[in-house]
Structure 1
Amino acid sequence: MSHETHIRPIKPREKLDFQLGSGIPRFWNGGDAFKTRFFDAMSLTFPIGERYFISTVRAYRDQIADPHLLQEVKDFTRQEAQHGMVHTEFNAMLEKQGLNVAWTQRFLDRKFKFQLARWSKAFNLSYTAAAEHMTAMMCTTFMERADIIEPFDHRMRAVYTWHSIEEVEHKAVCFDVLTKVAKAGYFTRIAGLIYFSIEYPIGNWYMVNRMLKDDGFSLLQRAKMLLKGAWWLYKPGGVFLPALGYYLSYFKPGFHPWQHTEMGRYQDWLTAFEHTGDPVEASEAFTAKVLAGA
């Protein structure tokens, strides 16, 4: 079967209400500080990171001759812009909790401006394509696991479900521009993944530690949390190891993102959203099927 049969159309969704201003608990992930801040650290990277991703693709926009791919780039841009807006709203809530959000945004802004100025267009796009692969992998890693998403506050689960749905829809856009338009070779493609795979976890762990410190936890308390969190993430059968094959598939010379089918309950979310227009209700329909093991 051709991987083309697995394609899910990109559908930008705008002006969505996730009820983020209605009393979300400080530790919204089952009351667990580490697990909450692990996801919050990802949220901190999204607004500026999404703008960077858009910039790396737009650098090739004038060279795209295929009208279908050009439309996909436009839809990708609209989806990523919405992700940035929603996570900006959530990050503002984190700042009200006393977390140093402004520092992270200044750092990320300088980092991505440096990359755009100093790296080649092809390597910037390779970095983005790698990040999209890792994000799509995490959509499967997190959103298809009942044990991971059940403790979420329902509004935060709605945010990450919607974000994951759209990441799956546009997961091949940057890869296609990289390979078909930029015509990057295997080494450039893989180098982006290796670099991102080292850099991103370091940054995420650093931000988690900083947020836990802002929460008032002592050095010893944070050390215990980080060790327990590392076991949760990396133990056999934990969060990431079951997805190792997915990660490694990127190294195959003939790899294409649509060779994978993520988000097994994708259609349940889509049907519910098309019926209600409410991302929170759609998330609950999606989650009910995941929790039921359907």
Structure 2
Amino acid sequence: MTVHTDALRDHACLIVHGPDQPGLVAAVTALVTRNNANIVSLDQYSSDPAGGQFFQRLVFHRPDLAAAFPDLEADLDQTLAPYGMQWRLTDQSVPKRMAILASTSDHCLLDLLWRHRRGELPVTIPMVISNHTNTAEDVRTFGVPFFHVPSQSGADKSASETEILKLLAGNVDFVVLARYMQILSADFIEQVGVPVINIHHSFLPAFIGAAPYRKAKERGVKLIGATSHYVTTDLDEGPIIEQDVARVTHADTAADLQRRGADVERAVLSRAVLWHAQDRVIRDGNHTIVF
């Protein structure tokens, strides 16, 4: 199902980034004006006005946007090519298709489904894929198809990853790992062809492996948190989208830490998903600019 948001009808988002230089803002705003569009919002950032990188996110309203799209794209090509800029233009009324991968933990999965049902996330959810079945009925109550793809034992996950890739192919614009407790192979990341967003506790790399909250409790940590980032072939080292923390005390048990950590994970992941869906995140190598 494709949902068109009336409030965003005929609204486009333009992302521009490349080497900073004089005339960029004037060139972009003049382009919008001559294409009979009106700027709704404009954010920009320069890493250094003298030889740095320029990043811009611009939202504009243009009546009959769909019909004007080819002319806008041709104008962008012609206008920005001399500046050596990269650009991306999207119709904001067309929600991105988001697949969710999950395991047994349901707090992030159900939170995303709930926010989507409330209209808080401008996405469609064509599928949830899990290597366990405990969340199947909950997912289906949201009207979302559930697919069970068991994980193989051992290091070779190629068969299960191949099955997941078949389900995703041509059906999604990005993937969210909602506490999916499997390490994706480099081959999978290269073949999936869309951004993948992950969420995990922020104890890494101090507390690696099982029972991180117990280990954190034993060390007497005073802050717990979560990190959401894009997945790369470097495990848990991709560009960070969002982070947050909560203060804890010596009186909190390991179970308390885990419960409060789950709250932070939900909030951080939902913000990361929202910002990605709204084209607010620009990747620059292993760095992000979030408008």
- If the length of structure 2 is used for normalisation, what is the TM-score? 0.27
- If the length of structure 1 is used for normalisation, what is the TM-score? 0.27
For the pair shown, which has the larger CA radius of gyration, 1 or 2? 2
- Greater RCO, CA 8 A, separation 6+: 1
